[in-house]
Amino acid sequence: MTSSTLLSIITFVYGLSAFIYIFSWVFKKPEVARLATWTAAIGFIGHAAGIIWRWNESYGLGIGHAPLSNLYESLIFFAFSLTLIYLIIEYKYRNQIIGAFIMPLAFLTMAYASLSPSVSNHIQPLIPALKSNWLIAHVIACFIGYSAFAVAFGLSLMYLIKQREVDPPAGGSGWLELFPGKQALDELTHQMVMFGFIFLTAGIITGAVWANSAWGRYWGWDPKETWSLITWLVYAALLHARVRWDWRGKRSAYLSVLGFAAVMVTYFFVNYLPGLHSYGSS
């Protein structure tokens, strides 16, 4: 058994957790959600073990480096930070419906990493450009940012679903009965966006400093750089929009969805464009 086998098992643990969260939401059985939380938490511990194991394996191959160097490893870390942030939020805000919108994202990310034939799970040695102390800081900052934005995206979806509800049915028999209130969702989204924004900023800055020490320029309008800036600009617009009350709520939620779309382009689709970040694609 290798670390990637363990991580494929975690995929199914997360899938199970996501399923229970959704089940508990749709069938209005909040007591079942406890099971989902425990499943997610156990998966998370295995996930952490898998990452450390993989790190150790790379030393066994004589090419030791932090498991943050290719698409597979970045997906694994993305799902890891996503689950971590989610579990903290659930613990802090005591609401388990949010899990029905976040754990499926963690599951899909892990499934893509483990099952897609286009994602290689081989441990590869570091190419010269990646041999830098900035690698760990840059990748961790970016992916914590991405994960926070993913959580904000889930919350915004919940907000947009919730605000369509014109008249909550009396006796609370609606699907949205267990949803947090609109204002709470809006505030929590804002929290997540701020959290993600500071990490995205840190990710862009560490990337710029790194680029300056590797290639002699801190900014070069390479497609990945540009898309990270586009993402930054969208979230910056969202943060400014909140100063005006009429931009809170619905418009903020749409901007948060737009921002997450930009994250997805920055993360995945940019790899189909030519540029310096090509090692993120295989």
Binding stretches for another protein (CB under 8 A): 63, 124-125, 127-129, 131-132, 184, 187-188, 191, 194-195, 197-198, 201-202, 205, 208-210, 212-219, 221, 223, 226-227, 229-230, 233-234, 236-237, 240-241, 243-244, 247, 262, 270, 273-274
For the chain, the distance separating the N- and C-terminal CA atoms, rounded to the nearest angstrom, is 23
Residue 157 CB, shortest distance to another protein, in Å, is 20
Residue 45 CB, shortest distance to another protein, in Å, is 28
**Cβ proximity to another protein, 18 vs 188, nearer residue:** 188
Residue 28 CB, shortest distance to another protein, in Å, is 25
Residue 262 CB, shortest distance to another protein, in Å, is 7
**Cβ proximity to another protein, 97 vs 255, nearer residue:** 255
List, as own/partner pairs, every contact residues 31-34 make where C-beta atoms lie below 8 angstroms and the sequence separation is at least 24, other chains included.
33/96, 33/97, 33/99, 34/96
**Cβ proximity to another protein, 110 vs 263, nearer residue:** 263
**Cβ proximity to another protein, 107 vs 146, nearer residue:** 146
List CB contacts of 12: < 8 A, sequence separation 6 or more: none
**Cβ proximity to another protein, 35 vs 119, nearer residue:** 119
For residue 154, with 0-12 CB atoms within 10 Å meaning exposed, 13-18 middle and 19 or more buried, which class applies? buried
Residue 194 CB, shortest distance to another protein, in Å, is 4
What are the CA-CA distances from residue 251 to residues 159, 192, 255, 262 (Å)?
11, 16, 6, 17
Maximal C-alpha separation, the chain? 65
**Cβ proximity to another protein, 178 vs 273, nearer residue:** 273
Residue 129 CB, shortest distance to another protein, in Å, is 5
Q: Tell me if 197 sits within 8 A of 228, measured CB to CB.
A: no
